[in-house]
């Protein structure tokens, strides 16, 4: 399942905030909103290993962390290629 609303939000936030051009760090508010939208998009079950609420929370944390890691990787790649003509 895809979190299409989260994807659309992030694409708009990156574009409107000029993140692609300036490579600045994604703000905590953008990361939190993205995580919240990812959490809302999932439909986990309750079982003996964990509640649906816990799993939804975990999805948000994983989404926020993955966004941070991916963006830092992008920023690092950008910085390395800026000096290349």
The model scores a pTM over 0.85: yes
* pLDDT tens profile 33-43: 999 999 999 99
Domain that holds residue 45: 4-82
CA distance linking residue 55 with residue 50, whole number of Å: 7
* pLDDT tens profile 11-67: 999 999 999 988 899 999 999 999 999 999 999 999 999 999 999 999 999 999 999
Nearest to 36 by CA among 16, 56, 65: 56
CA distance linking residue 33 with residue 11, whole number of Å: 12
Asked if 66 contacts 31 with a C-beta cutoff of 8 angstroms, the reply is no
Q: How many separate domains does the chain show? A: 1
């Amino acid at each position: 399942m895809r979190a299409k609303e989260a994807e659309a939000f992030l694409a708009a936030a990156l574009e409107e905030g000029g993140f692609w051009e300036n490579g600045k760090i994604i703000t905590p508010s953008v990361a939190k909103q993205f995580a919240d939208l990812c959490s809302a998009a999932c439909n986990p079950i309750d079982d003996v290993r964990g509640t649906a609420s816990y799993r939804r929370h975990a999805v948000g944390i994983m989404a926020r962390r993955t966004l941070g890691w991916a963006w830092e990787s992008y920023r690092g790649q950008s910085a390395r290629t800026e000096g290349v003509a």
